[in-house]
Amino acid sequence: MKIGILDIQGSVTEHLEMLNKIKNVEAVLVKKSEDLKEVKGLIIPGGESTTIGKLLRRFGLRDEIIKRVKKGMAVWGTCAGAILLAKKIVGKENADSLNLMDIVVERNAYGRQLDSFETQVEFDCGIGGFGYKCPAIFIRAPKILKAEKSVEVLAKYKDEIIAAREKNMLATTFHPELTEDEKVHKYFVEMCRK
Ligand code: GLN
Protein backbone atom coordinates (compact mmCIF):
# COMPACT_ATOMS: atom_id res chain seq x y z
CA MET A 1 0.00 0.00 0.00
CA LYS A 2 1.32 3.43 -0.95
CA ILE A 3 1.18 6.30 1.51
CA GLY A 4 2.20 9.80 0.48
CA ILE A 5 4.16 12.39 2.40
CA LEU A 6 3.69 15.97 1.31
CA ASP A 7 7.18 16.99 0.24
CA ILE A 8 7.06 20.75 0.41
CA GLN A 9 8.70 21.72 3.67
CA GLY A 10 9.23 20.44 7.21
CA SER A 11 9.81 17.01 8.74
CA VAL A 12 9.48 15.03 5.49
CA THR A 13 12.50 12.73 5.87
CA GLU A 14 11.53 11.75 9.39
CA HIS A 15 8.06 10.64 8.28
CA LEU A 16 9.63 8.79 5.36
CA GLU A 17 11.98 6.87 7.64
CA MET A 18 9.08 5.98 9.92
CA LEU A 19 6.87 4.66 7.13
CA ASN A 20 9.79 2.67 5.70
CA LYS A 21 9.95 0.73 8.96
CA ILE A 22 6.35 -0.44 8.65
CA LYS A 23 5.61 -3.66 6.76
CA ASN A 24 3.68 -3.57 3.48
CA VAL A 25 3.87 0.19 3.23
CA GLU A 26 5.56 2.05 0.40
CA ALA A 27 6.19 5.71 1.15
CA VAL A 28 5.82 8.11 -1.76
CA LEU A 29 6.93 11.74 -1.77
CA VAL A 30 4.17 14.03 -3.00
CA LYS A 31 5.21 17.23 -4.78
CA LYS A 32 2.53 17.52 -7.45
CA SER A 33 -1.06 16.41 -7.86
CA GLU A 34 -0.20 13.37 -10.05
CA ASP A 35 1.80 11.97 -7.14
CA LEU A 36 -1.47 11.54 -5.26
CA LYS A 37 -2.94 9.11 -7.77
CA GLU A 38 -2.05 5.83 -6.14
CA VAL A 39 -1.74 6.78 -2.49
CA LYS A 40 -4.26 5.59 0.09
CA GLY A 41 -3.29 8.29 2.54
CA LEU A 42 -1.28 11.47 2.84
CA ILE A 43 0.84 12.82 5.68
CA ILE A 44 1.18 16.59 5.95
CA PRO A 45 4.35 17.13 8.02
CA GLY A 46 5.12 19.77 10.59
CA GLY A 47 6.91 22.88 9.44
CA GLU A 48 5.51 26.34 8.88
CA SER A 49 1.81 26.23 8.12
CA THR A 50 1.64 29.55 6.27
CA THR A 51 4.50 28.55 3.95
CA ILE A 52 3.13 25.06 3.31
CA GLY A 53 -0.34 26.51 2.69
CA LYS A 54 0.92 29.03 0.13
CA LEU A 55 2.97 26.42 -1.71
CA LEU A 56 0.09 23.93 -1.71
CA ARG A 57 -1.84 26.44 -3.74
CA ARG A 58 1.08 27.37 -5.98
CA PHE A 59 1.86 23.71 -6.78
CA GLY A 60 -1.78 23.04 -7.63
CA LEU A 61 -2.07 20.54 -4.80
CA ARG A 62 -4.59 22.24 -2.56
CA ASP A 63 -7.77 21.49 -4.51
CA GLU A 64 -6.64 18.00 -5.40
CA ILE A 65 -5.98 17.09 -1.77
CA ILE A 66 -9.36 18.49 -0.70
CA LYS A 67 -11.13 16.54 -3.44
CA ARG A 68 -9.40 13.27 -2.58
CA VAL A 69 -9.90 13.57 1.18
CA LYS A 70 -13.61 14.23 0.61
CA LYS A 71 -13.71 11.04 -1.46
CA GLY A 72 -12.13 9.05 1.38
CA MET A 73 -8.33 9.33 1.08
CA ALA A 74 -6.88 9.29 4.60
CA VAL A 75 -4.96 12.34 5.71
CA TRP A 76 -2.81 13.03 8.77
CA GLY A 77 -1.55 16.46 9.69
CA THR A 78 1.22 16.74 12.29
CA CYS A 79 1.60 20.15 13.93
CA ALA A 80 1.64 22.62 11.01
CA GLY A 81 -0.24 19.90 9.09
CA ALA A 82 -2.93 19.86 11.77
CA ILE A 83 -3.26 23.64 11.44
CA LEU A 84 -3.78 23.26 7.69
CA LEU A 85 -6.54 20.69 8.21
CA ALA A 86 -8.53 22.84 10.63
CA LYS A 87 -11.69 24.62 9.56
CA LYS A 88 -10.88 27.45 11.92
CA ILE A 89 -7.58 29.05 12.91
CA VAL A 90 -7.90 31.58 15.71
CA GLY A 91 -7.25 35.15 14.60
CA LYS A 92 -6.40 34.30 11.04
CA GLU A 93 -8.04 34.16 7.66
CA ASN A 94 -8.01 30.65 6.35
CA ALA A 95 -7.32 31.38 2.71
CA ASP A 96 -4.61 28.77 2.14
CA SER A 97 -5.81 26.22 4.64
CA LEU A 98 -7.49 23.01 3.53
CA ASN A 99 -10.57 23.66 5.71
CA LEU A 100 -11.36 20.00 6.23
CA MET A 101 -11.61 19.12 9.91
CA ASP A 102 -14.15 20.44 12.35
CA ILE A 103 -11.58 21.69 14.85
CA VAL A 104 -10.53 25.13 16.03
CA VAL A 105 -6.77 25.61 16.42
CA GLU A 106 -4.55 28.30 17.81
CA ARG A 107 -1.05 28.57 16.38
CA ASN A 108 2.05 28.75 18.59
CA ALA A 109 -0.24 28.37 21.56
CA TYR A 110 2.25 27.19 24.20
CA GLY A 111 3.98 30.10 25.90
CA ARG A 112 7.68 30.80 25.44
CA GLN A 113 8.65 28.64 28.35
CA LEU A 114 6.99 25.64 26.77
CA ASP A 115 7.88 26.58 23.20
CA SER A 116 9.30 23.12 22.66
CA PHE A 117 9.00 20.20 25.05
CA GLU A 118 8.70 16.46 25.28
CA THR A 119 6.35 14.40 27.39
CA GLN A 120 4.55 11.05 27.53
CA VAL A 121 0.92 10.87 26.52
CA GLU A 122 -1.81 8.27 26.42
CA PHE A 123 -3.01 7.76 22.87
CA ASP A 124 -6.42 6.15 22.51
CA CYS A 125 -6.37 3.90 19.50
CA GLY A 126 -10.13 3.93 19.45
CA ILE A 127 -10.73 0.33 18.53
CA GLY A 128 -11.96 -1.45 21.62
CA GLY A 129 -11.17 1.54 23.77
CA PHE A 130 -7.63 0.54 24.73
CA GLY A 131 -4.81 3.02 24.61
CA TYR A 132 -1.07 3.15 24.51
CA LYS A 133 1.57 5.39 25.94
CA CYS A 134 3.74 7.22 23.49
CA PRO A 135 6.32 9.99 23.63
CA ALA A 136 5.14 13.34 22.30
CA ILE A 137 7.41 16.15 21.13
CA PHE A 138 5.88 19.60 20.76
CA ILE A 139 7.67 22.28 18.74
CA ARG A 140 6.01 25.69 18.71
CA ALA A 141 2.87 23.63 18.67
CA PRO A 142 -0.70 24.70 18.11
CA LYS A 143 -3.52 23.87 20.49
CA ILE A 144 -6.76 22.28 19.40
CA LEU A 145 -9.11 24.53 21.32
CA LYS A 146 -12.32 22.94 20.23
CA ALA A 147 -13.54 19.84 18.45
CA GLU A 148 -17.06 19.39 17.13
CA LYS A 149 -19.12 16.30 17.97
CA SER A 150 -18.08 14.57 14.76
CA VAL A 151 -14.49 14.59 16.00
CA GLU A 152 -13.09 11.87 18.25
CA VAL A 153 -10.48 12.98 20.79
CA LEU A 154 -7.57 10.50 20.83
CA ALA A 155 -5.14 12.17 23.21
CA LYS A 156 -4.95 15.01 25.65
CA TYR A 157 -2.12 16.78 27.42
CA LYS A 158 -3.06 18.70 30.56
CA ASP A 159 -6.72 18.62 29.57
CA GLU A 160 -6.06 19.95 26.10
CA ILE A 161 -6.69 18.05 22.91
CA ILE A 162 -3.48 17.04 21.16
CA ALA A 163 -4.76 14.31 18.85
CA ALA A 164 -8.12 14.10 17.14
CA ARG A 165 -9.77 12.11 14.39
CA GLU A 166 -12.73 12.85 12.20
CA LYS A 167 -13.54 9.94 9.87
CA ASN A 168 -10.55 9.59 7.50
CA MET A 169 -8.74 12.61 8.97
CA LEU A 170 -6.20 12.64 11.79
CA ALA A 171 -4.59 15.66 13.46
CA THR A 172 -1.81 15.61 16.04
CA THR A 173 -0.26 18.75 17.46
CA PHE A 174 2.92 16.83 18.32
CA HIS A 175 5.56 15.06 16.22
CA PRO A 176 5.58 11.25 16.42
CA GLU A 177 8.03 11.19 13.48
CA LEU A 178 10.74 12.71 15.68
CA THR A 179 10.64 9.82 18.14
CA GLU A 180 11.53 6.14 17.83
CA ASP A 181 7.95 5.18 18.54
CA GLU A 182 6.00 3.91 15.53
CA LYS A 183 2.58 3.52 17.12
CA VAL A 184 0.90 6.63 15.80
CA HIS A 185 2.24 5.90 12.31
CA LYS A 186 0.87 2.37 12.58
CA TYR A 187 -2.44 3.78 13.68
CA PHE A 188 -2.50 5.99 10.57
CA VAL A 189 -1.52 3.04 8.36
CA GLU A 190 -4.59 1.22 9.70
CA MET A 191 -6.73 4.25 8.82
CA CYS A 192 -5.35 4.08 5.28
CA ARG A 193 -6.16 0.38 4.93
CA LYS A 194 -9.87 1.02 5.61
N1 GLN B 1 4.44 27.03 14.58
C2 GLN B 1 4.23 26.39 13.32
C3 GLN B 1 3.05 27.00 12.59
O4 GLN B 1 2.29 27.73 13.15
C5 GLN B 1 4.02 24.90 13.52
C6 GLN B 1 5.26 24.30 14.10
C7 GLN B 1 5.49 22.87 13.73
O8 GLN B 1 4.93 22.34 12.78
N9 GLN B 1 6.35 22.24 14.47
O10 GLN B 1 2.88 26.72 11.44
SS3 52: helix
Residue 128 pLDDT: 45
Residue 185 pLDDT: 95
- Compute the mean pLDDT over every residue in the chain, rounded to the nearest whole number: 93
Residue 25 pLDDT: 97
Quick one: DSSP state of residue 103?
E
Q: Tens digit of pLDDT for each residue in 87-102?
A: 999 987 777 899 999 9
Residue 37 pLDDT: 95
Choose, from 79, 166, 185, 192, the residue flagged as catalytic.
79
Ligand 1, residue 48: give the atom nearest the CA. 10
Choose, from 106, 175, 185, 192, the residue flagged as catalytic.
175
Range(s) of the domain holding residue 37: 2-193
Residue 112 pLDDT: 78
| Closest listed residue to residue 152, CA positions, set 191, 107, 95, 189 | 191
Confidence of residue 126 (pLDDT cuts 50, 70, 90): low
Q: What's the rounded mean pLDDT across residues 92-118? A: 89
SS3 2: strand
- CB 79 less than 6 A from any atom of ligand 1: yes
CATH of the domain at 188: 3.40.50.880
Q: Tens digit of pLDDT for each residue in 16-59?
A: 999 999 999 999 999 999 999 999 999 999 999 999 999 999 99
Report how many domains make up the chain.
1
Residue 129 pLDDT: 54
Q: Beta strand 116-124 with 131-139: parallel, antiparallel or unpaired?
A: antiparallel
CA dihedral 12, 164, 166, 20 (to 10 degrees): 30
